[in-house]
Amino acid sequence: MKLIECPRDAMQGLTEFIPTATKTAYLQALLAVGFDTLDFGSFVSPKAIPQLRDTAEVLAGLDLGRTNTRLLAIVANLRGAETAALHPEIQFIGFPLSVSETFQQRNTNKSTIEALAELARMQSLCEKTGKTLVTYLSMGFGNPYGDPWSPDIVAEFTRTLSNMGVGIVALSDTIGASTPATIEPLFSQLIPAFPAIEFGAHLHTTPGSWREKVQAAYLAGCRRFDGALGGFGGCPMATDVLTGNMATENLVAYFAEQGEELGLDMGALARAQAAAGGVFHF
């Protein structure tokens, strides 16, 4: 069972700039918890995501000597991936590939065909530099734009990624559109069909629907889940109204009920939750 904490996703849509020192201190608190991976920042245009313009400075300020948590950085193009690859502290490079053509254009200013070609170059770069590419299939459970979507379309995208050698694919509910009726069949179909791929669930949700979504993915075999403390965040490129991330504290509680051993320092988790209140003002 792997938990990926996503402060980058929680912060990116905030208009008020969080000071670099505040970001660094919060990430340091998260590193003490014992998450498998920390989605900590993004090497993208500061015009696109002003909040994350200090990712390199934040990274330089982290003390990584006492944590086993690995770092993941999100990029929107090959240039960003090349920048991320220069940092030995970063193990994972994440790229959002959209099942929706409209959202691919909104998010990365590329067509899906162009994004796939660039993703292939990123995979080659990761292989050469010892990084691991994580591909997020955004709008993986449907989209608000009327673009075609079906489980077969998601499977075809996954087949293309598998042929490239991509080893981690996170099905991403960018706008909170998923339901158990779409989550369970997708994971049940994809996990056995592509045994070489580690599938993750990046689910956005409202407070009342989180449990049914987590349960549907878990019972279908998913063992990699993204979350953000407090359920804060959302994609500013998707819609005008942000749908929150899956709250990490809910994931922790659910998996404890299932008897899963997460290996987290619960005292550090409580301290990180307290620190989050100062960062996000909730």
pLDDT for 253 beyond 90: yes
62 Cβ contact partners less than 8 Å away, ≥ 6 residues apart: 24, 27, 28, 31, 40, 89
Tokens of 53: 């313009």
Average pLDDT value for residue range 247-264: 96
Global pTM reads 0.94
E runs forming strands in the chain: 2-5, 37-43, 70-75, 90-98, 132-138, 168-173, 198-203, 224-227
* CATH number for region 2-280: 3.20.20.70
Q: pLDDT digits over 122-169, tens only?
A: 999 999 999 999 999 999 998 888 899 999 999 999 999 999 999 999
Bridge-based pairing state of the strands 198-203 and 168-173: parallel
∠ CA 144-150-156, nearest 5°, is 120
C-beta atoms surrounding 46 within 10 Å: 11
For residue 71, the one-letter residue type is L
Lowest average pLDDT, out of 88-97, 101-110, 177-186, 240-249, goes to 240-249
> In whole angstroms, what is the distance from residue 181 CA to residue 15 CA?
35
Residues above pLDDT 90, as percent of the chain: 83
The pLDDT of residue 282: 46
Q: Tell me which residue has tokens 């208009």.
A: 15
Domain ranges of the chain: 2-280
Q: Tell me which residue has tokens 């193990």.
A: 91
Q: pLDDT digits over 198-219, tens only?
A: 999 999 888 888 999 999 999 9
Q: pLDDT digits over 221-247, tens only?
A: 999 999 999 888 754 333 334 457 899
Mean pLDDT across the chain, nearest whole number?
Answer: 93
**Torsional sign, CA 173, 178, 180, 186:** negative
The pLDDT of residue 208: 84
C-beta atoms surrounding 16 within 10 Å: 6
